Structure 1
Amino acid sequence: MKFYVIGDVTVDHLYHLKRLPRPGEEVAPIRASMKPGGAGGTISVTLARLGHTVTLAACVGDDPFAEYALSRVRESGVSEVAIQRSAEHLTSTITVMQTGDGQRTMISDGAANRQLDPAKLKKKDIEGADALVINAYSLIEGPQREYTLAAIGYARNAKKPVPVFIDLGTGAVNKVGTGLRDEALGSDYLMLNQHELQALTGTSSISAALGQLGEAGAQRVIVKVGKMGSIIWTPTETELVDAVPPEGAVVDSTGAGDTFTAAFAHAVLSGSGMAQAARAANMAGALSATSFGAQERPITAADLADVLPKSKKEKA
């Protein structure tokens, strides 16, 4: 399958702490590391490792961090034909501070990512894809937003419509809030966590939020609910899909939601129903958290073999 992914690529600075520091306080981390990251990078790398042909649209700076941010993208065989470079903006970085009990805070700089030039988007590349996967950070502002909206339009109006997967992000929802609702409703599959769901709808419960999205025309919503797994929703169905405990200890949740999104899209395009796809995504997200860094634990078809049925070609 051919996937076109629009999203950020970053260099992640990860600090694992006993507790988050108070204002003005200096603390020493239990562990510190630098890893390639970003939602677009992580989604594209995961899809490529699962055997798909993937094109990533992102923008990096003309600086040493750019090569590092793209290192796993290159290793995984993701096409870089839609990668742009900005001479005026630095490659995006994220500083993540997290504790063993799940508390996390981040400093994020959109930088070069927001400069993705819509004039360089090729209509034929969207029309030739089997799916368009978008992270909502691409819809926040600037040329990157224009690029993403144009891509959605091409996918919608293609002779053979291209399914659109949109994954929200906490930072994007916190910045734009309910302003992302129209774009979210334009997706075939909308993925988000509980906080993002309630912020997007301005409601205080999952059921009320899903009801509001349904009334507004949503067709398929997948809510990530952490240790409980995920909830799949359509106008005729609501189901909690249990989490799948990973083999190995959970050490870093960075990028787990992006891995979930990639695995879900992979499963759907491989012919799975939503519940089965959500179960595979639960497993993939949990497995990704057993290594430090968003893209360090490869998710392969073998990892998901017990969850997803073999294709007709594999059975033959």
Structure 2
Amino acid sequence: MTSQSDAADVLVLGGAGVDTIIQVPALPLPYADSYMIDTGIRTRAGQTGDFIALGLAALGLRTHHLDLLGDDPEGDLVRALHREHGIGLTALPQPAGTKRAVNLVGPDGRRLSLYDTSRARPGDRFPPETLRTLAGASRHVHVTITQPCAEALTVLTATGVPLSTDLHDWDGENPYHEPFAYAADVVFLSAAALTDPERTLRRIAERGRARTVVATAGAEGAYLLADGELTRVPAVPPPAPVVDSNGAGDAFAAAFLYGRLSGEPPESCARYGAVAGAYACTVPASRTESIGRAELLERAAEPRP
């Protein structure tokens, strides 16, 4: 186990792994015996927890990441990524191996992710004392929905440290997501699978602890429910051509949390999120790059169309 447990602004729980990126000519990909991939097939560290941690660190927040990692080449890539960006990492042994996925990326930046669920075991757990120690040294904890983070929620809520989570493309019905949705103080999700985003956002707030719930909607902006009031957050034009949507939701969440921990009101936090999410769409999936604080603040201050 590697560890660096100094005080942190944000503890990120779970979501460490590697992705293999394949740019395909179309999504859905028509059946064929084979495809020639001229752009190459690349494997790099970076799944949802890694991207959240990278985004927070790029904005100047002291960030620590806790997850299970295998003693394998994929785990080595994750460890190297954290060293390169100065992000504290507590890596607990995972005999089943480091989480991995394959991302098929279409010409318009959309992606299809294939997750390897064999890299987990039903009995996987984070040691409660480790959770208490790292959460107690943090101002905020962001919990990804990867296994086994759900089993950590009871310990985390007992610490009293504010929690956030990202439900990704939850349909509002899948029971797996509910413990995360109702335990967090700030909830992010995508509106992609929601027929009525406002109804889902209000149900999360009514049944859980969240005073702030945000549903991102791509080019249509986002829905922000804060203290019972629903507002629409306009999208921000990307600063360059859109090449990949991978990591846009993580970038939004990281920038929103930066604003929240800086004392900004929810509307300003959402503006930060929109700027960071638009920036992320201009970064190829084969790279791990996040917007910095100076550029975020400069672009967020620009007049709105």
- TM-score, normalised to structure 2, is 0.85
- Report if aligned partners of 1:264, 1:280 keep a CA contact under 8 Å in 2: yes
> Aligned equivalents of 2:104 and 2:96: distance in 1?
24
The one-letter amino acid paired with 2:139 is D
1:83 and 2:91 matched: yes
Which runs of no fewer than 5 residues in structure 2 stay unpaired? 1-7
- Equivalences for 1:116-131 in 2 at 5 Å? 116-119=125-128, 121-131=130-140
Residue aligned with 2:63, SS: strand
Instruction: State the superposition RMSD in angstroms.
Output: 2.5
CA gap of 1:74–1:273, structure 2 versus 1, over 3 A, is: same
Matched, 1:16 2:23: yes
Alignment of 1:165-180 (within 5 A): 165-170=164-169, 173=170, 177-180=174-177
Amino acid at match of 2:86: G
For the residue of structure 2 that corresponds to 1:291, the secondary structure is coil
SS in 1 for 2:192: helix
CA change 1:249–1:188 in 2 (3 A) is same
Residue 227 of structure 1: CA displacement? 0.5
Q: Which digits, 9 at most, give the CA deviation of each residue in 1:289-311, with x for residues without a partner?
A: 212237622321111122568xx
Q: 1:59 and 2:51 equivalent? A: no
Q: Which one is further off, 100-109 or 243-252?
A: 100-109
Q: What corresponds to 2:5 in structure 1?
A: none
Say which of 85, 97, 102 aligns to 2:104: 97
Match of 1:241 in 2: 233
What is the letter of the counterpart of residue 145 of structure 1? A
Q: Normalised by the size of structure 1, how large is the TM-score?
A: 0.82
Aligned equivalents of 2:274 and 2:254: distance in 1?
11
Q: How does 1:119-268 map to 2 (within 5 A)?
A: 119=128, 121-138=130-147, 143-146=148-151, 148-156=152-160, 162-170=161-169, 173=170, 177-195=174-192, 198=194, 204-217=195-208, 218-268=210-260
Alignment of 1:278-293 (within 5 A): 278-293=270-285
Q: How many residues align?
A: 289
Q: Deviations over 1:5-26 (max 9, x none)?
A: 1021111111111113335642
Aligned amino acid, residue 212 of structure 2: R
- Given the superposition, is the C-alpha separation of residues 175 and 136 from structure 1 closer, same or farther in structure 2, using an over 3 Å criterion? farther
**Which moves more between the two structures, 234-243 or 249-258?**
234-243
Structure 1: 5+ residue stretches without partners: 157-161, 199-203, 310-316
Structure 2: distance between partners of 1:68 and 1:305: 31
Compare the two structures and name the one with the higher helix fraction: 1
